């Protein structure tokens, strides 16, 4: 039996059960906020995604959901005044998604932040984050999913230096676009 096919250790299985339980607690808190879990996940993604990655297709890939499911989620979020859809400035055939001020305000008091505070209080945030990133990578490889990493860690990211444009000190060589410091720390659909 190959290592990838071996049974998980008791500790790994315990960790997986704990993750599942924590996720359920967050989802229960999400329901208390009046949105379905998929709607919260869409809002969270849009808050963390760079301007190139705030599209319905990128959202669907990130969530591992169908385009139809994401379409219904976006219809609900637009209807609630939390998300705005507009014609893409880069490609008139596509749509750009942005959070409205109401969407941003709603995320200020979301259930996931309570969990993040609990993780901080444990004193294990760094090790836990590294372990979960590794597990997520393995799950994405196994399932053929996309990485969606932060721009700054992408092979196409070039940090600014001499000659960088004011306010846009970095550059994406894949898209041939300037990037601000804030862009460099956001999730990107094109991450490699």
Each residue's pLDDT tens digit in the chain (192 positions)? Answer: 455 567 788 999 999 999 999 999 988 888 777 899 899 999 999 999 998 899 999 999 999 899 999 999 999 999 999 999 998 777 777 899 999 999 999 999 888 899 999 999 999 999 999 999 888 888 888 888 777 888 888 899 999 855 555 557 888 899 888 888 888 899 988 888
- 80: DSSP letter: T
Q: Residue 78's pLDDT is what?
A: 97
Given 109, 130, 145, the domain boundary residue is 145
Q: Are residues 129 and 162 located together in one domain of the fold? A: no
The CB density around residue 12, as the number of other CB atoms within 10 Å, is 11
Q: How far apart are the first and last CA of the chain?
A: 31
Query: Are 113 and 87 contained in the same domain?
Result: yes
pLDDT at position 164 is: 54
Residues spanned by the domain of 44 = 10-145
Tell me how far apart the alpha carbons of residues 15 and 24 are, in angstroms, rounded to a whole number: 14
Question: Residue 69 gets which letter from DSSP?
Answer: H
160 shares a domain with 95: no
Is residue 153 domain-resident? Answer: yes
171 touches 149 (CB < 8 A): no
Instruction: Judge if 109 and 158 occupy the same domain.
Output: no
Work out how many domains the chain is built from and give that number: 2
Residues 163 and 131 in one domain: no
pLDDT on residue 8: 83
Q: Give the per-residue pLDDT at 77.
A: 97
User: Does residue 5 belong to any structural domain of this protein?
Assistant: no
Question: pTM score > 0.85 for this model?
Answer: no
């Amino acid at each position: 039996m190959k290592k990838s096919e071996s049974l998980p250790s008791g500790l790994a299985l315990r960790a997986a059960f704990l993750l599942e339980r924590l996720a359920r607690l967050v989802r229960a808190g999400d329901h208390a906020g009046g949105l379905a879990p998929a709607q919260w996940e869409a809002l969270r993604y849009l808050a963390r995604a760079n301007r190139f990655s705030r599209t319905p297709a990128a959202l669907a890939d990130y969530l591992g959901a169908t385009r139809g499911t994401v379409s219904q989620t976006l219809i609900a979020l637009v209807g609630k005044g939390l998300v705005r859809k507009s014609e893409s400035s880069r490609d008139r055939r596509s749509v750009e998604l942005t959070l409205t001020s109401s969407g941003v305000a709603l995320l200020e008091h979301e259930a996931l932040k309570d969990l993040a505070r609990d993780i901080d209080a444990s004193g294990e945030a760094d090790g836990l984050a590294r372990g979960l990133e590794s597990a997520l990578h393995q799950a994405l490889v196994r399932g053929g999913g996309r990485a969606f990493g932060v721009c700054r860690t992408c092979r196409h990211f070039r940090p600014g230096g001499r000659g960088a444009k004011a306010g846009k000190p970095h550059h994406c060589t894949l898209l041939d676009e300037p990037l601000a410091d804030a862009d460099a720390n956001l999730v990107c659909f094109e991450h490699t």
